[in-house]
Amino acid sequence: MAQLIKMEDYISRYEIDLNRYANQFIRLKKQQWEEIKKRFESIQFAHSTLDSEKQLFLDRIFNSQLVWASSTIREISLMDEAFEKDSLLKYFLQRFPDTYFVMYYPVFLIKKASVQGEIIIIRPTDIVCLTALEYKENNVLIGTKQKFWLKRDDQGEKKILSPIIGLERTANIVKQILSNAEVNFPIRKILLNRTGYIHASELPADIEIIDVRSYDDWFQNMRRQPSPFKNMQLKAVKALLASCATNAVKRFNE
């Protein structure tokens, strides 16, 4: 289960002590799941019951992750309740490995200006900057080099802002932060349309297109990386978190 280390400009426990909370998350999750399995083995429940219990367990962990990514012992951010029902966020977190760190639309401070990024997944071997295009099933996105793309679905056609703009902006911010921190780490740029198609032949060569035709293979490959944390990965995460905006209030009057 991937670790949610930053949402928008909410305060995060990982900003306080990355190593401590990254390892604590894995240890607590493993410990709690082993306790659940032992309890079920002792009363010999059906396998299907254990499967359903596992999903409930993952959902509880997800709720805990939202708490960790929006509060510390002393401070708390006012989290939008929509995150509790964000199916994409939950889907990624519950299916990616423990050693993946996810920044969900983080807000960076760039020359005293707040700039919101796209989804960023920091893996042991690289960083994935990802723009998720969530539209109706069987939608078709027609991309160009221009400022606007065309979206087609059963409701007709509509112009949308080119998703390349946000993706390139995010990748450039990440690249600059890593450069300033003297971290040499590969950066991938991905346009993702899980339920539809992307037709765009004029995109920069370093942008990967993942649509409904290639999604399953890409997703399975993303899940296949049981590598432990890497020093360069942790260094990259710390640099990114240090460059984020944080908006929080104190829990108590001190």
Task: Note the pLDDT of residue 48.
Answer: 61
pLDDT value of position 89: 96
Q: Are 114 and 173 in contact (CB under 8 A)?
A: no
The amino acid occupying position 177 is: I
Separation of alpha carbons 122 and 103, rounded Å: 8
Reported as a single tens digit per residue, the pLDDT across 163-201 is 999 999 999 999 999 999 999 999 999 999 999 999 998
Residue carrying the six token digits 């104190």: 250
3-state secondary structure of 79: coil
- When divided into structural domains, the chain yields a total of 1
* Polymer length of the chain: 254
Both tokens assigned to 199:
């037709």
For residue 138, what pLDDT is reported?
Answer: 87
DSSP annotation of 142:
E
- Structural domain boundaries, residue 140: 3-250
Whether 9 has a pLDDT exceeding 80, the answer reads yes
- % the chain with pLDDT above 90: 78
Q: pTM score, two decimals?
A: 0.93
Torsion from C-alpha of 187, 233, 17, 101, nearest 10 degrees: 60
Angle 73-74-78 (CA atoms, 0-180°, nearest 5)?
95
Tokens of 180: 């300033």
Mean pLDDT over residues 120-137, rounded? 94
- Beta-strand relationship, 249-250 and 156-161: unpaired
Is 44 a residue whose pLDDT tops 70?
A: no
Rounded CA separation 16/32 (Å): 24
